[in-house]
Amino acid sequence: RAMIHLYGIPNCDTVKKARVWLDNRGRAFTFHDYKKEGADPAKVAAWIAAAGLDAIVNRKGTTFRALSDADKALAADSHTAVALLVQHPSIIKRPVAEHAGGILVGFKEDEWSATLL
């Protein structure tokens, strides 16, 4: 089976749940820590193209709510959102899991089971 690449922040509860879920099912994955490794603009743009801007931008988090209105406006356009998400990776919904068939955004156990098992 193809490797899964998981993107997120290690102390995020949703990321922790996803990592435990993968471990418990014996699925190998690599973990990309935005805090240490940053976010790749080409990947972020590809995720937006694949899943849509609304699926990728986390508008509920404290980081997004603390942005200026001008920055929030940048997040509403897929062309300007990439630079904003790269600058503030905490605004990227977590986790993003790249797998052979595409990407999963966020952690929903039933969706992950249907896609990855």
Active site residues: 12
Give the strand pairing for 29-33 and 102-105: unpaired
Supply φ then ψ for residue 30, to 5 degrees: -105, 150
CA dist., res. 105 & res. 112, Å (int):
10
| Of residues 92, 91, 36, 97, the one with CA closest to residue 67 | 91
Decide if 65 contacts 40 (C-beta within 8 A): no
